Structure 1
Amino acid sequence: MNQKVKLLTDNIEKVIVGKTDSVLKIITAMLCGGHVLIEDVPGVGKTQLVSALARSVDGKYNRIQLTPDVMPSDIVGFSMIDQKTHELEYKEGVAMCNFLLADEINRASPKSQSSLLEVMEEHQISIDGKTHELPLPFMVLATQNPVETYGTYHLPEAQMDRFLMKISMGYPSYDDELDIMSRAERSGFAKNIQPVMTLENVRELMGYAENVTVELSVRKYILSLVTATRNSDYVKLGVSPRGSIALLKASKAYAFVQGRGFVMPDDVKAVMPDVLAHRLMLSPKGKSAFENERKALENIALTVKSPDAIEK
Structure 2
Amino acid sequence: MSPADPPKIRSDEKIALVLGAGGARGLAQIGVIEAIEARNLKIVAIAGSSSGALVGGLHASGRLPAYREWLLSLDRGAMLRLLDPGFGRSALFEGTRLIAALREIAGSPKIEELPIDFTAVAVDVLRQREVWLREGDMWDAIRASFAIPGLFTPHIIHGRPLVDGGLLAPLPIAATRLSDAHRLVAVDMHGWPQRPPGEPAEENAPSGPSASRSWLTAWMHTRASDASADAARTRLGFTDLMARSLDTMQAQISRVQLALDPPELVIRIPRDACQFYEFWRAKELIDIGRREADKALDEAGY
Q: TM-score, normalised by structure 1?
A: 0.25
Larger CA Rg, structure 1 vs 2: 2
Q: TM-score, normalised by structure 2?
A: 0.26
Q: Name which structure has the greater RCO, CA cutoff 8 Å, separation 6+.
A: 2
